[in-house]
Amino acid sequence: MAAQPVRILIFGAGVIGSIYAIKLMEAGYDVSLFARADRFRLLQEKGLQYNDKGTVRMVPVKVMDVLEDDDIYDFIFVTVRYDRAESALLALKDNQSPNIVTMTNSPIGFSSWRGIVGDRLLPAFPGFGGQIKDGVLYARFMPKFVVATSFGEMNGAVTQRILKLAQVFQTAKLPYVIKKDMQAYLITHSVSDIALLGSLYGGNQTVDPVTPGTKKTARKITVTLKAYLKAIRKAGVAVDPPVFKIVPKLPSLLLDVLFIAWLRTNMVKDMLLPDYANAANQEVVQLEKDLTKFLSIQNG
């Protein structure tokens, strides 16, 4: 008897969820997308549209806006922003699927999320990004040796479900890395996002496309990144990736030069689009608020 196909639900049909949907469907997996409001209607009417080297293509996708408790998937990928993660997990609390993969930052560990979905929680972080313009996905892939999807058990064990998820990524030809300490990785990544994106958006201020690229913005990134990396190390967090360990020791002028170059890239210009910027700013505000609380508890 043939093995049952792996069923995957992607909860969140933004950039990350849409990229995973395309790649996993191309690999032959049974993929469904959970979306709401305008995104749900657009996917129903026009399918999943994406840019392929300048040509807009479309792939039909199974999409839903209601999930039944007994609608079981091998993996549910939660691909929402950090500030929406808890509400997404609450929506999945009573669904009986065995593995819930959270594809987002977490500056405070997993106790609150685990309290909602229990040991079904499998923390992860995506290895790509992009944007959606006028309903069309524009994916942005980093070199495989720079960024890969990271995932791992909360206790660091390499379990059968970790191996099964790794096989899914291998089949889909998606680069991945299995982490032994996802909490440390996600806290470090949160620090990076707070420094880089927080310096772009400046709290609740309106994004000014003229500002990025200036020495002032670069210096703000440098100061913030160094301060938070020192703070999490003091709190006992193992900085990951390890390359970040040397950042506090590097001359600030050198870091300023690197960040000025980054601020002038097309990627940063894309980040200044109003829809992206407003959403990212909300996430960064919540990240910094929760990281500050975490550090206060750890050092108190």
Number of residues in the chain = 300
pLDDT value of position 205? 52
Q: C-alpha angle with apex 130: 125 to 134, nearest 5 degrees?
A: 135
Query: CA 83, CA 206: separation in Å to the nearest integer?
Result: 19
pLDDT value, residue 202: 64
Q: What is the pLDDT of residue 281?
A: 83
Q: How far apart are CA 94 and CA 206, in angstroms?
A: 39
Strand partners of residue 50 = 57, 137
At residue 264, the pLDDT reads: 85
Q: Quote the pLDDT of residue 206.
A: 47
Per DSSP, what are the bridge partners of residue 100? 76, 121
Joined tokens for residue 57: 């293509």
Q: What is the pTM of this model?
A: 0.92
pLDDT in tens, 169-211: 999 999 999 999 999 999 999 999 999 988 887 655 544 555 6
Do residues 182 and 150 lie in contact, with contact meaning Cβ atoms separated by under 8 Å? yes
Task: Return d(Cα 276, Cα 270) in angstroms, integer.
Answer: 8
Those residues of the chain that have pLDDT short of 50 are: 1-2, 206-207
Of 132, 6, 155, which is closest to residue 79 (Cα–Cα)? Answer: 132
Hey, what amino acid is at 126? Answer: P
Q: Over the stretch 216-230, which tens digit does the pLDDT of each residue have?
A: 889 999 999 999 999
Residues with Cβ within 8 Å of residue 112, at least 6 apart in sequence = 86
Tokens 């032959």 -> residue? 28
Q: Beta-carbon neighbour count of residue 146 at 10 Å?
A: 9
SS3 291: helix
**Residue whose tokens read 């040509």:** 55
Q: Can you tell me the distance from the alpha carbon of 139 to that of 50, in angstroms, rounded to the nearest whole number? A: 8
Task: Look at residue 2 in the predicted model and tell me its pLDDT.
Answer: 46
Amino acid at the residue 20: Y
Question: What are the φ and ψ backbone dihedral angles of 34, each rounded to 5 degrees?
Answer: -100, 125
Spatial separation of the C-alpha atoms in residues 194 and 177, rounded to whole Å: 23
